[in-house]
Amino acid sequence: MMRQYELVERVKRYNPSTDEALLNRAYVYAMMAHGNQKRASGDLFFGHPLEVAAILTDLKLDDATIAAAVLHDTVEDTQATLEEINKAFGPQIGALVDGLTKIKRLDLVSKQAAQGENFRKLLLAIADDVRVLLVKLADRLHNMRTLQFMPPEKRKRIAEETLDIYAPLAGRMGIQEMREELEELAFQNLDAEAYEAISRHLREVTAKSEKLVEEIERDLTAKLKAQGIQAMVTGRQKRPYSIWRKMERKSVSFEQLSDIFGFRVIVGTVDECYRALGVVHTSWPMVPGRYKDYISTPKQNDYKSIHTTVIGPGSQRVELQIRTIAMDEVAEYGIAAHALYKEGVNDNSRLATESRAYQWLRRTIDLLAEGDTPEEFLEHTKLELFHDQVFCFTPKGRLIALPRGATPIDFAYAVHTDVGNTAVGCKINGRMAPLLTELQNGDEVEIVRAAGQTPPAAWESLVVTGKARASIRRATRAAVRQQYTGLGRQILERAFERAHRTFSDEKLKGALPRLARISIEDVLAAVGRGEMFSGDVVRAVYPDYKEERRGVGGDGAVQSEKKSSTPAKEFGEQGANAIPIRGLNADMPVRFAPEGGAVPGDRIVGILTPGEGVTIYPIQSPSLAAFDNEPDRWIDVRWDVEPDDPQRFPARIKLQSINEPGSLAQITQVIADHDGNIDNVAMKRRTQDFTDVTIDLAVWDLKHLNAIIAELRTKPVVSRVDRVNG
């Protein structure tokens, strides 16, 4: 275990003016707090935060971050409190420890909804201070190095979480060395057999190619020196996980891979980078399509380098990365390579201007405000994390970075949401092209737009960026809602006209509390979807309005008039010459739709089944589509309930309930309080957090049913409730 003076010495190597007293106090406080706690390996627990701090000293981080690393488990795993940390070490270190404590409580490999919500919390915890993420990554790296002591099931869960979340985050922050080690350790634990097989092949190739690597290093160094370029040339073997991923992506065997080795050329200036590239390309043939200039167009994580592949000595493919010393430091340490925290200045506004990686993080946080579900947010963010990039240009020369595989639709939404929503075509490099064309590096893309255009819902499954998917989904929802709103307005205008009452938005706005809706658009959409009866809206606006009704007898008979060829849409208005059909004991038995029933207040239609009688459906029932081609079976029916002799009618509702003790009791209590009768309840676990509940009710009429639904919607344990129209 690292001693107290050793920790201080590690920091003093890169920061001679370090606050030794702060580091010593953090060391002693954490050691006393953890006491004799042990890890799964049997080692003292206190050794873990020290190793985390040691990893961060390799990144040359500031004193506050190192102290927070030493203290990061105290609040969660000991009797220490956040108040004590704030008092002893100040609010800056206290905030770092608090953020790390919140992250530690998250389970990022879980049911999808919980995983998405926890990932939101993770990004929010690191949004205010990216050092929280750096400490968490170092914490995860040391845990992965000692993962062999955990039970197999927990090992698998932690490795999956590392490969899914933490390794890509390290890559996005530009810390490539840490990302590669996290991927290696996760791969080793998730597929030990594949890891060992590739490692064995690599050892064999290395033994055979050792002299070739030395020859290329020596030859390239000499060629550069002859042109007056002082360079450090080093060869490195690719890691097993990188090779395995390439084999999976290209569906090739290990033997078919020709670029097992990569070489790094470190020079002094940007000018020497391009001069070195010239030396390489004039010395060996270049492999077409393998040249990338990330100096002129850096990656979003600040990575800068020139990549090229040539056919080197022995007809061996050689990958080369050419960069300056400063670029190499950013490539290895990413966001931690910026001087901000080393100067002891906690100013994220400066970091945002220095670090494109942090700008990406802030843009990702902005997605939280878009109203997506946790699952959607997780999906979008993972898309952003895992894809490599292509660089395209607008006609005015603006650079747009997109994930590999992106289309002009993704490009349009990257420019602006309105551009994407109104896109109808595109030009790539001056030529018309399909909107689903895969973009390549350097493409110039011009989007053709049309006013009033709405993106097709199918686009959502065709784009690759999170922003495009979220925008298309929102635009589709808005378009559907707008259609229902328009339909609802037409229905209400006719209903008010029949009632000889004036209809206006102002009058409807005053009735919103009685209708249990927030906005006029909510009322119109509910009427358009058939969730609210137009007569209820008229009565809500004009409480003195009395709707005229014809009556049936006390036996609840339903009156009807046969229509030989009337389509479904005409069955809203009731005929004046209805023929009475009296109950199950009459010549024509009557029953209700088995999947949802019907209640007074519904516009209804009867379907005649020879030998079985008439089945009553609400006019909005999707089941009626099955009878569209059989007009002779349609019977125009209407309610004529006697007010003095009421009876209950069947209806079905479906809820999404939050899983917590007493939730079903709250739901049934609402129904009981409103004088509803429950005939049947069916429950099905939807996710870890939600349950689908289907309830068959007996209610007096549509107003009664809507009152129950409206009250259920106010309950915190109910996330959604809808009527089922069978």
Query: What is the C-alpha to C-alpha distance for residues 215 and 702, in angstroms, rounded to an integer?
Result: 86
Report the DSSP pairing between strands 613-618 and 590-592: parallel
Contact in structure between 470 and 414 (CB atoms under 8 Å): no
Q: Which amino acid is at 468?
A: A
Residues in the chain: 726
Contact in structure between 420 and 392 (CB atoms under 8 Å): no
To the query of whether residue 77 is one of the catalytic residues in this protein, the response is yes
Contact in structure between 113 and 688 (CB atoms under 8 Å): yes
* Residue (of 52, 66, 51, 49) closest to 12 by Cα position: 66
To the query of whether residue 214 is one of the catalytic residues in this protein, the response is no
At 57, phi and psi to the nearest 5? -70, -30
Query: What is the C-alpha to C-alpha distance for residues 242 and 244, in angstroms, rounded to an integer?
Result: 6
Residue 236 bridge partners (DSSP): 262
Choose, from 20, 58, 77, 722, the residue flagged as catalytic: 77
Choose, from 58, 76, 84, 191, the residue flagged as catalytic: 76
* Residue (of 282, 240, 238) closest to 263 by Cα position: 238
SS (H, E, C) 249-310: HHCCCHHHCCCCEEEEEEECCHHHHHHHHHHHHHHCCECCCCCEECCCCCCCCCCCCEEEEE
At 654, phi and psi to the nearest 5? -130, 130
Task: Name every residue whose Cβ is closer than 8 Å to that of residue 656 and which is 6 or more positions away in sequence.
Answer: 686, 690, 691, 692, 693, 718, 719, 720, 721
Q: Which amino acid is at 87?
A: K
What is the Cα gyration radius of the chain? Answer: 34
Contact in structure between 375 and 690 (CB atoms under 8 Å): no
Report the DSSP pairing between strands 445-449 and 261-267: unpaired
Query: What is the C-alpha to C-alpha distance for residues 537 and 491, in angstroms, rounded to an integer?
Result: 11
Q: Which amino acid is at 500?
A: H
**Across the chain, which distance is largest between two alpha carbons, in Å?**
109
SS (H, E, C) 370-411: HCCCHHHHHHHHHHHHHCCEEEEECCCCCEEEEECCCCHHHH
Cα-Cα-Cα-Cα torsion 564, 569, 572, 577, nearest 10 degrees, comes to -10
- 583: left (phi > 0), else alpha (psi -120 to 50), else beta? left
Query: What is the C-alpha to C-alpha distance for residues 34 and 23, in angstroms, rounded to an integer?
Result: 17
Q: What share of the chain is helix, strand, coil (3-state, %, to 5)?
A: 50, 15, 30
Treating both helix axes as pointing N-terminal to C-terminal, what angle do 63-71 and 47-58 enclose, rounded to 10 degrees?
160
448 sits in which H/E element: strand 445-449
Q: Which residues are catalytic?
A: 76-77
